[in-house]
């Protein structure tokens, strides 16, 4: 992206904050991965490693009253919406202090008070939910936007089609995105769809779409802003295709031998943290000592969070039904 445009369009503090969240996401997920390898996490671990700029960029572009129906590689969303490293690590360790109070051991968490729909495992199910929330905002006359996404694999599902079509027909204040990381588990893109870009699907719904470098946090932020402004102005949904690469296996149990090593080597050079550091240097907003300072800061936050999670109790039997049924779910 043109540095002059970024300097003009994004405030210095906002860029520095995004860099901090990129680093915090990476440090937290690396710690979770290490815990998984130590056999301390019972569930699966699906990370956003190498794709952190997507969640960090779009969540930073939203207003506090806007709502997110995240994808399963959107850890940055939770951090930006105020979930602490302690809460998140407690979730992964199955502790009572985690968002699901010990009922789930990975990314299936949310909190309506913080504007994050609980992530449901069934792929693309979050998109019709997002369209429904956007319809509610429109009926109530509220100036709020919903942001929701899925993967390249998820975009081949029926619920993706239903949500996109309904939202376009009703001109709903929603932004849909695709994290196109080239693989749906072991299925490469060319076995997923007969078109070159996921964004081509948007045309069929009469919805504008944009291809964005998903490893460039500034590009993600600015594209998200444009789509959010459009949605808030009553002009309807936009579809954003964030191009990126899944740098780990589908989950940490998967060595992903089906991915050519050269492809990973190529994308390693485009790492979102590396890119953000290059940008901060070009703008004279950050240098190596500053990056080191942030590294130390996030490391401390992750370790403090782990201490909290480790000291937290496991749930007790009678708590098993707490928060399971709708009456205590709250509203958004």
Name the residues that contact ligand TPP, by CB under 6 A. 73, 121-123, 150-154, 179, 181, 183-185, 246, 250
Query: In whole angstroms, what is the distance from residue 57 CA to residue 55 CA?
Result: 6
Query: In whole angstroms, what is the distance from residue 73 CA to residue 49 CA?
Result: 8
Residue located via tokens 């964004």: 199
Shortest Cβ 155–ligand TPP spacing (Å): 7
Shortest Cβ 247–ligand TPP spacing (Å): 11
Closer to ligand TPP by Cβ: residue 179 or 238: 179
Shortest Cβ 191–ligand TPP spacing (Å): 11
Closer to ligand TPP by Cβ: residue 121 or 282: 121
Burial of 134 (0-12, 13-18, 19+ CB in 10 A): buried
Closer to ligand TPP by Cβ: residue 83 or 160: 160
Closer to ligand TPP by Cβ: residue 52 or 152: 152
Shortest Cβ 17–ligand TPP spacing (Å): 25
DSSP string, 119-159: PPSSTTTHHHHHHHHHHHHHHHT----EEEEEETTGGGSHH
Grouping H, G, I as helix, E, B as strand and the rest as coil, residue 238 is strand
Closer to ligand TPP by Cβ: residue 120 or 283: 120
Shortest Cβ 109–ligand TPP spacing (Å): 15
Shortest Cβ 185–ligand TPP spacing (Å): 4
User: Nearest to ligand TPP by Cβ — which residue?
Assistant: 151
C-alpha dihedral (134, 139, 141, 144), degrees to nearest 10: -10
Backbone φ and ψ for 240, nearest 5 degrees, come out as -115, 125
Closer to ligand TPP by Cβ: residue 249 or 286: 249
- C-alpha dist (Å) from residue 135 to 238, 288, 303, 326: 15, 46, 41, 20
């Amino acid at each position: 992206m043109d540095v002059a445009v970024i300097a003009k369009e994004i405030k210095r503090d906002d860029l520095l904050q995004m860099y901090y969240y990129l680093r915090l996401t990476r440090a937290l997920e690396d710690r979770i991965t290490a815990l998984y390898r130590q056999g301390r996490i019972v569930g699966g671990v699906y990370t956003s490693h190498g794709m952190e700029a997507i969640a960090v960029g779009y969540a930073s572009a939203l207003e506090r009253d806007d709502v997110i129906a995240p994808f399963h590689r959107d850890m940055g969303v939770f951090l930006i919406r105020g979930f602490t490293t302690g809460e998140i690590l407690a979730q992964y360790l199955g502790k009572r202090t985690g968002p699901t109070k010990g009922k789930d051991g990975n990314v299936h968490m949310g909190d309506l008070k913080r504007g994050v729909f609980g992530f449901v495992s069934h792929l693309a199910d979050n998109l019709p939910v997002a369209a429904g929330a956007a319809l509610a905002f429109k009926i109530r006359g509220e100036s709020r936007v919903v942001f929701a996404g899925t993967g390249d694999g998820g975009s081949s599902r029926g619920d993706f089609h239903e949500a996109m079509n309904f939202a376009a027909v009703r001109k709903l204040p929603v932004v849909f995105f695709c994290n196109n990381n080239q693989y749906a588990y072991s299925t490469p893109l060319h076995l997923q769809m007969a078109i070159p870009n996921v964004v081509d699907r948007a045309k069929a719904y009469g919805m504008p779409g944009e291809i964005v470098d998903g490893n460039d946090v500034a590009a993600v932020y600015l594209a998200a802003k444009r789509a959010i402004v459009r949605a808030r102005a009553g002009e309807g949904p936009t579809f954003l295709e964030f191009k990126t690469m899944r740098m780990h296996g589908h989950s940490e149990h998967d060595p992903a031998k089906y991915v050519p090593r050269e492809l990973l080597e190529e994308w390693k050079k485009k790492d979102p943290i590396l890119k953000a550091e290059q940008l901060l240097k070009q703008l004279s907003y950050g240098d190596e000592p500053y990056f080191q300072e942030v590294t130390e800061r996030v490391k401390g936050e992750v370790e403090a969070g782990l201490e909290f999670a480790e000291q937290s109790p496991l749930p007790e039997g009678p708590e098993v039904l707490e928060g399971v049924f709708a009456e205590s779910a709250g509203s958004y």
